[in-house]
Structures are given as C-alpha cells and as structure tokens.
Amino acid sequence: MFNNDELTKLILEILQTKLPNQIFSTYFANSEMSSNSSHELTITVKNLFAKENIERKYIDTLSSVYYNITKSYPSKISIKTNNKHNPKESLYRESTSTKKPSKLNLNSSKPTHQKDINYIYESNLNPKYTFETFIVGTNNQLAHAAAVAISENPGHSYNPFFVYGDVGLGKTHLIQSIGNKIIRNNPTSKVLYTSTESFLNDMITSIKSQKNVEFRKKYREVDVLILDDIQFISNRTGLQEEFFNTFNFLYQAGKQIVIASDRPPSEIEHLESRIRSRFEGGLVADIKSPNFETRVAILRQKVEEKNFYIPDKILELIAMNIETNIRELEGALLKVILLKTTNPQITDEEIKIALGFNNKSLSKKNRLPTPNEIIENISTFLNVSVKDLKSPKRTTEIGYARHLCMYLLKDILNLPLAKIAKQMGRKDHTTVIHAIKKISELIEKQDPTTLQIINEIKKSIFDK
C-alpha cells in the first residue's frame, strides 16, 4: 500500500501532531526510519539520549501510529543511534594543552591559565519553523510583531520576551522563528533553543559528572537563549537558582532571552519573586485560540505544503469543529490526507463521519459572515437597532453593543481598523481601538455576561 518513504514520512508527520513540539524536535527530528515487508520498523536517531528516551517512553506511541496507517502492528521496533563517538563523551572539545585548568571566572573575557574549551553549538531549531510559515491572526498579532522586531534587533527590542498560551497554539513555532531569522541574518550568531526539561537534565548531568564549567559555558556563551515550557521550573529551587544566574549573566551581557510558557508569569506557582520580576520586566505577550478565518488559513497553508488537494468545504468543516488547538487541526488534516490516499473515492460524508464531526452538515457552505450579518445579529440579540449602533448616541446599552460590534468585526473577519470604523459610521479608527480594548479587558477578566453574549452571537452566526 505504501512504499518505505511514504510510510516513514507519514509516521513522522503524525508523530509531530501527537507529541509536544520540543519532544518531537529533541527525539525524532532528523531521525531516519525504515520498514520492511515483515513489518519491522527501524529508527536511527542522533544520540544515545534520544534512543533511551524513545525506548522508555514512546514505543507504544510508535506502535499505535504504525497501526493507524497500516492496520497492523509492527512485529519489531528497533531504535539505533548513528553517533559514532562515545555516547558519554563530553560535548566539548579541548585544545592539546595538558595543563590542568584553574577555576574559570565566567565574568572575565580572558580567563588566565585556562585551556580553551569550545562548545560545539547545535541550535536545536527546526528549520521549518519560520515567520513565512506562521499564520498571523487577531489571536497572535502582538506576539508576532514583537518576535519579528526581536529577530531584526536581538537583545535590544524586547528583552526578555515572554510568550504564553495554551498547548498547540504555535508558541514553539513563533519562538523558533526568531532563532531561524537571526541565524539567517547573521550565520555566526550562537542561538540555542532548548526545553526547561533539557536545561534541568543538563544541570543534573553536570553536577554528577562535575562539569559545571561546561554546563555554564553552554548556556552563557550564546547570543540568544530560547527556553520552552518554563512553567516546569515551578517548585524546583535548585533549577530556579541556576536559571536565575544564567538569566542575569545573559541579560547583563546584552544577550537576547526568549521564553515560552503555557501560562503568564503571575500564574506560575512557587516561582521565586525575583524571577517573576525579571520576566515581567520585559514584554509579556499571549497567544489566544485562532478564530475561524485564521484556522482555515492555517489548514490551507498545510495543504499547500503537502501539495495535496482537499476541498475548501472539508477544510472549513475541520475549522468549525476544532476551535482551540492548531496541533489538533493538523492531526485532523493528516487523517483526511491518509483517508484520501488509501481511498481516493471516499465521499465527503464518509470523511465527516470518520472525523467524528457528525454534528455539522456538509450540505451547506460553511462561510464567513458579512460585516452586516454580524452587526444585524448583535442588533437582534441585544435589541439595539442598527441605526442606533451606527449613530453618535452614547447610552450605556448602545455603547456596549457598539463595542461588541467592533470587537467581533475584528475577531471574526480580521477587518482593518479603518474599515471597521467606516462600517460603524465613525470618522477614524481611534474609537475602534478603544472598543476592542474594552471588550478584550472584559474577556480577560472572564466577565460572564460578555462571554455568554459573544458565544451566543457566534453560535447564531455559524450554526444557521
């Protein structure tokens, strides 16, 4: 049914949707796979660390993915390493000097009586994570704009840069895009992307092997440190101490620090106040769930990347049913591609059933509403006439409804501010900015009335 290349490519693509980005990048990125007619799956990874972790944690996942594609379980899964060096060998190479090193003063640019230790840097960046492949919507505009600015002027624009949001919204893509752009602009830049878990493992290893100097050189001699999943630093005193010292060293040296988390600094429990203060001293930006239009755009881009045709109504069906997680969007899309590859005659209704989207109809075109339809829905729901919504009247009820109109015109349609102003009978976009800010603040405060109204209006718009 599949040749070896097709099968292994599908395995890797599905794995990437199932695993957190940093796990896939650490263990499976750049791996080589092969499968024979006896259903034996062989995976060659870059080092012993990846081999041991896959054997310990991800064999069942591999077996499940293999079955989903081939409808049979692998008879054997072998994990090999292509590392020709001693797996316990240090990641540093030393000069031929045989003199014993004295204590290294990390605050000095020219340590005396110290033999040269040069870290062989690997950025750990995924080359496919670029700004060109990152879809920008109302949910991530601020974070994206800041990331671009940082990539063009690292260490000066926003430092540190702290981005947060739920799992699967593109945080890892965005922060790695920064690193890839910096290296593209300046190939000699030392950029290091790592997870907090890897930082902790390196710290523990350095303590056990008495290689603290090497550990600190690895993390303190970079130009850009990109650290993912910082929430795992919670309640780990030793890790927080080492991170705080590393952070300070880099910050004082004018190096760029980029941090990602699934929650803002204020919500990371048992985080030392001095670290929280450092985080909040830079730019803190969030990434929210993408709106319908952005979700469709993401799916269209993924289809183009894979050079595969899928009708828009199927893409829109996926976007209508999966609202909060980009990774789940990609997983559903891969399933559709797999279904169409194995059965080119499969019908749209059969795809809908296979995806479990039985609550949405394919008989109608799922489309974005017009601006007037959004305004009319709000008018009906809040019992405020369209004429009043577009008038200069400033009663509390009319003002609130008008703000909702402006917010939803931006949230659902991503209209330019000037067009929203014109649509609402305003001379300029200043009022629009104020309205969007007001509603956004109510949403952030979890105002129950506003949340219910927005949900009901969106439901009335999209479920007609």
Report the Cα 398 to chain-centroid distance in Å: 38
* DSSP H or E stretch at residue 191: strand 191-195
Angle at 117 between CA 116 and CA 120, to 5 degrees: 135
Q: In this structure, is residue 421 part of a structural domain?
A: yes
Domain with 419 in it: 371-462
> Cα separation of 347 and 353, whole Å?
10
Start-to-end CA distance of the chain, whole Å, equals 41
Report if residue 221 sits inside a domain.
Answer: yes
Contact in structure between 2 and 14 (CB atoms under 8 Å): no
- Is 218 contained in some domain? yes
Tens-place pLDDT, residues 358-387: 655 444 444 577 888 899 989 988 999 999
Q: Is residue 277 domain-shared with residue 311, that is, in the same domain?
A: no
3-class SS string, 115-140: CCEEECCCCCCCCCCCHHHCCCCCCC
Cα angle, residue 71 at apex, residues 69 and 72 outer, rounded to 5°:
110
Domain containing 331 — which CATH number? 1.10.8.60
Residues 67 and 144 in one domain: no
Considering the domain architecture, whether residues 227 and 157 belong to the same structural domain is answered as yes
Asked if residue 90 is part of any domain, the answer here is no
Q: Is the pLDDT of residue 117 over 60?
A: no
Is 423 in contact with 415 (CB distance < 8 Å)?
A: yes
pTM value surpassing 0.95: no
Provide CB contacts within 8 A for 433, sequence distance 6+.
Answer: 417
At 337-357, the pLDDT tens digits run 888 888 888 888 888 888 888
Residue-wise pLDDT tens digits, 257-272 = 999 998 899 888 889 9
CATH classification at residue 43: 3.30.300.180
The C-alpha atoms of residue 159 and residue 131 are separated, in whole angstroms, by 19
| Top-confidence residue, 225 or 349 | 225
> Do strands 32-35 and 40-45 pair parallel, antiparallel, or not at all (unpaired)?
antiparallel
Question: Which stretches does DSSP call E strand in 304-387?
Answer: none
User: Are 238 and 383 in the same domain?
Assistant: no
Is 246 inside any structural domain?
A: yes
| Residue 279 reports pLDDT greater than 80 | yes
Report pLDDT for 344: 85
Same domain for 336 and 407, yes or no, is no
Final residue belonging to a domain, choices 249, 265, 286? 286
195 in the same domain as 144 = yes
The number of folded domains in the chain is 4
Q: Each residue of 176-222: pLDDT tens digit?
A: 999 999 999 888 899 999 998 888 888 888 888 888 888 888 999 99
Q: How far apart are the C-alpha atoms of 20 and 22, rounded to whole Å?
A: 6
Domain check: are 296 and 183 in the same one?
no
Across the chain, what does the average pLDDT equal? Answer: 82
Q: What are residue 40's phi and psi, to 5 degrees?
A: -95, 125
E strand or H helix at 328: helix 326-342
